[in-house]
Amino acid sequence: MTHEINLGLYKMNTAFEPIKIGNFTLPNRFIMGSMHLGVEGETGTAERMAAFYGRRFEANVGLIVTGGISVNEEGKGSRTFFNIQVPEHAAELKKMNDLLAGKGNMCAQLFHAGRYAFDRGCVAPSAIRAPINRYIPRALTEEECWKTIEDFGIAARIAREVGFGSVEIMGSEGYLLNQFFSPVTNHRDDYFGGDAKRRMNMSIEVLRSVRKNLPEGFPVIFRMSGIDLIPGNATFEEVCLLAQTLRDEKVSALNIGIGWHESRIPTISQLVPRGAWASTASRIKEKTPGIPIIASNRVNDPSTMQRIFDSNQADIISMARPFLADANIVNKFKNGMSNRINTCIACNQACLDHAFQEKSVSCIVNPEAVNELSFPTKPAKNSKKVVVIGTGPAGLEAARASAVLGHKVILLEKSDKLGGQFQLASHIPGKTEFKETIRFFSNELPALGVDLRLNTTATIELLEELNPDAVIFASGVKPREFSLPGLENLPSGNYTDYLTGKFKPGKKVAVIGGGGIGVDVAHKLTEDHDPTFESYDKKYNISSYTNVVIQPHKANRDVAIFRRNGKHGAGLGPTTFWALKQELESAGVEFYHGLNYKEVTKEGLKVELKNGDEFIYPCDSLILCVGQEKETSLYEEFTSKYPQKQVILIGGAKDAKGIDAKRAFLEGLEAAHAI
């Protein structure tokens, strides 16, 4: 999946032509879209935010949209939101902008959560509870609607006063203004509800209020929903009417959002084809000439960006998570270095999962993101010889970061491929994105001068010969041994055997172990291909626009996942597992938990339920996904023989229980900075 780009082809590329948004000239066709960093709503975070945003500005991003900044107290989505009308919060934002002065255009997203606010005092157009919120909102009175409109205007004025160079009105993703426009959540019969024209009045009046409080030409972007992806959502004709009206009201650009948070349709995970939603922006662009249209969602690589521009689907591309993964993505694209882009793999584990848990956001493949102050890239005072053993996520990041810090790095890998557990995971449908991470390190490490030695088994003799100043053991994990009476009665293999092609399962498979690996294996068993535009549309009926829902389908295998205790999919992120489980259920996968394994007969797997009942699941093969054990034999031998050497143990080799890539990459970065 390497994307080689000839620089000569891109000298006149649309992607790098300037474009005006209001009175601001964007130097290229990319902006960094809104994304919470998880540190908002607190004082003392200006330096951390400025360090993160500043690095992106320095990498040729001309405009960056903040995470949502609430226009009043009831509009806060959670405690990790600024309320711009609170003086302390406004002062923190001013401090951030002062630190960023002259670097680029910082855009304040003016935000109101509506019924998505996780607070008893949440408000909405009508008193209809959101499926993802336990609280029933209070319906705003007409007078309160006008007060909220005024608050948007006040927020815009304050945003300019504290140094923002543009604003974006949040009217998408199921938040307040989107709720007013939707017939599902707006059952009013006053000026702000009824037919489509009255349902859009809240958005139009907010835009007017914002523009009234800003100088002529000050850039005002409106993020509107291109499609809500919930039953009964507004029609495409109504969406276009809103877009045309916003244009006529002199908004500077339209940023096309996709889906509500309560939607059961994945829109940004690995289950979504790259650039799948640019077509929605394109349809709105066709109906709304005369205004810049911004596309977003699942755009993470140069080939997708180029396709969007070549087909004129949008004027500007908004990316958020890709700038977490690689601050320099725009420059690398422009300069023909796409093979060195650290691609966003759409896992959501350290970004969206953290944001919704009110934790500090980062990125699993780039743990420096939002942690720039904790991991400065200035060279170490003393360059050392560092040997890293293992090229799973922990070892790869340890080698990269050590080289960036100026150390001489030798990276040892016993197989002929980089990646470790990432290499295995890349065989799962959708998770082929992991190959991009392996591609990045395959190109980045040699460019940084790392001495990469594949097909090299680390031994005590080799380490003695190399005589390093420090050794980082990222020797990883191996499948846990598992025995069960009668296992020999049916063909079986562990997950490594299956994912590497050594074991070929039959047509009726029992997966023993229902953690993250077991669920991923079941996904591959029932759908052995990456999502395409065609398969995605067919699976979710996307082209219907108003009747988007997952379609049941028969897989080419019967699969059941068994787990002794706990929830299936443990270890997979909450913003992605629901969609995967939904797909597995639609393919007929059965889930069993709260049981004991008894034996394997020639007929199938016999289990005992907690109530004492026994049953046999008829199957012709089994795949064992029962966990991993750490591989530390060389570490123990080396530390025993050379206790004076600096030795660091990381990743699965440090703790195999619950190992995930997020922890592994972070430990690799921490190890490099500990040398």
Positions annotated as catalytic residues are 175
Would you state the structure tokens that stand for residue 193, as one six-digit string? Answer: 């509800």
Burial (CB count <10 Å: 0-12, 13-18, 19+), residue 194: middle
Phi, psi (deg, nearest 5) at residue 415:
-95, -175
Contacts (Cβ under 8 Å, ≥6 apart) of 164: 93, 97, 106, 107, 108
Q: How far is CA 595 from the centre of its chain?
A: 34
Place of tokens 């969007």: 308
Burial (CB count <10 Å: 0-12, 13-18, 19+), residue 667: buried
Would you state the structure tokens that stand for residue 613, as one six-digit string? Answer: 């009942």
Would you state the structure tokens that stand for residue 329, as one six-digit string? Answer: 């993505």
Contacts (Cβ under 8 Å, ≥6 apart) of 214: 156, 157, 160, 167, 220
Give the H/E segment covering residue 99. Answer: helix 87-100
Q: How far apart are CA 663 and CA 656, in angstroms?
A: 11
Would you state the structure tokens that stand for residue 131, as one six-digit string? Answer: 């499926």
For 600, the 3-state DSSP assignment is: strand
Residue 166: Cβ within 10 Å count: 27
What is the DSSP pairing of strand 24-26 with strand 19-21? antiparallel
**One-letter amino acid for residue 199 of the chain:** R
- Which segments within 296-403 are labelled E, that is strand? 316-319, 385-389
**One-letter amino acid for residue 302 of the chain:** P
Distances (CA, A) of 187 to 58, 126, 233, 240: 47, 6, 13, 21
Helix-strand-coil percent breakdown of the chain, rounded to 5?
Answer: 35, 20, 45
Would you state the structure tokens that stand for residue 63, as one six-digit string? Answer: 């405009």
Residue 573: Cβ within 10 Å count: 23
Of 195, 197, 286, 295, give the one whose Cα is nearest residue 246. Answer: 197
**Can you give the length of the chain in residues?**
675
Q: Hey, which residues does 221 pair with through a beta bridge?
A: 168, 253
